[in-house]
Structure 1
Amino acid sequence: MTVILLALGAAFGAPLRYMVDRAVQARHDSVFPWGTFAVNVIGSLILGVLIGGAAHNAVPSPLVTLLGIGLCGALSTYSTFGYETIRLFEDGARFYSLFNAAVSVVAGLGAAFVGVSLAEAIWA
């Protein structure tokens, strides 16, 4: 059952990532990968809420598998983040490359922390 829940979440998360990435990137006239940044921060926030809720026994394990591992795992993307960061550097956009690396890590961790804190406020 766990694999089925994971697959269902991923089947929804992967196309959602593509659609959000394209929609966000289309609104920005910049080489900075705003779409990937957005999906990674959103995924980190959702995962933080789920894990925080699970820590208080408010979010059941199957829901963490479906939404946390499946949806968030497919929605967020470390590989694309890595590729785009290197591509920016190789294309001469070194500031954007370093900015992407630093801000993505800080924003992703910050979003996860906010998500856990939000879960604490709701379920503690």
Structure 2
Amino acid sequence: MIHLPALDLLFFAVGGGLGAAARFVVDGEIRSRHRGGFPWGTVVVNVTGSFLIGLFSTLAATLTRLAVADDVAALVQYSLMVGLCGGFTTFSTSTVESVRLAQSGRLHLALGNTLGTLVATVVAVALGIGVGTAVGSLFL
């Protein structure tokens, strides 16, 4: 079992709650505008969250290299990367949506959702790392 200090757990819990609330709002807003068979809200949430995970992971590494206080790096790691982005992204929902699309006979949409989300989220993480590296290089 991972042992986290109480403050790190608090950071994680607050970030996770904010991420889940943000996912609910973003997904709901997109669904209300794009009624149809494809789960655009979940795709946008997962791609955006993946970009932010790449960005925040690079930011945390940069803060460590800059010898910033461990508490600040933990704040970025636990509240932003693990909490906020973990609460925001929802790959289980994406999977359920793909299964439902397949069950309804829309195999092309199910496959597009599954493969498209996979490719787009990996690209988004790479872009987040790239942006984080570029921003971090300004301070190193």
In structure 2, the partner of 1:103 is 116
Match of 1:65 among 78, 82, 99: 78
Deviation per CA, 1:10-61: give whole Å up to 9, x if none.
1111111011001011111321000000110111011110011122226722
Match of 1:80 among 88, 93, 96: 93
In structure 1, the partner of 2:19 is 13
In the alignment, the residues of structure 2 paired with residue 53 and residue 15 of structure 1 have an alpha-carbon distance, to the nearest angstrom, of 23
In the superposition, the TM-score normalised over structure 1's length comes to 0.95
Which AA in structure 2 matches 1:14?
A: A
Q: Is the 8 A contact 2:60 2:76 kept in 1?
A: no
Match of 1:51 among 50, 57, 65: 57
Segments of 5+ residues of structure 2 without an aligned counterpart are 1-6, 67-71
Please identify, of 87-96 and 59-68, the stretch whose mean Cα deviation from structure 2 is larger: 59-68
Aligned length: 124
Question: Of the two, which has the highest radius of gyration?
Answer: 2
Match of 1:90 among 78, 103, 119: 103
Which AA in structure 2 matches 1:74?
A: G
Deviation per CA, 1:36-90: give whole Å up to 9, x if none.
0011011101111001112222672222210111110010001101110111000
Runs of 4+ in 1 over 6 A off after TM superposition: none
CA shift, 1:108, in A, is 0.5
| Identity among equivalent pairs (%) | 34
In the alignment, the residues of structure 1 paired with residue 82 and residue 60 of structure 2 have an alpha-carbon distance, to the nearest angstrom, of 13
In the superposition, the TM-score normalised over structure 2's length comes to 0.84
SS at match of 1:32: coil
Give the CA RMSD over aligned residues: 1.2
In the alignment, the residues of structure 1 paired with residue 116 and residue 56 of structure 2 have an alpha-carbon distance, to the nearest angstrom, of 23
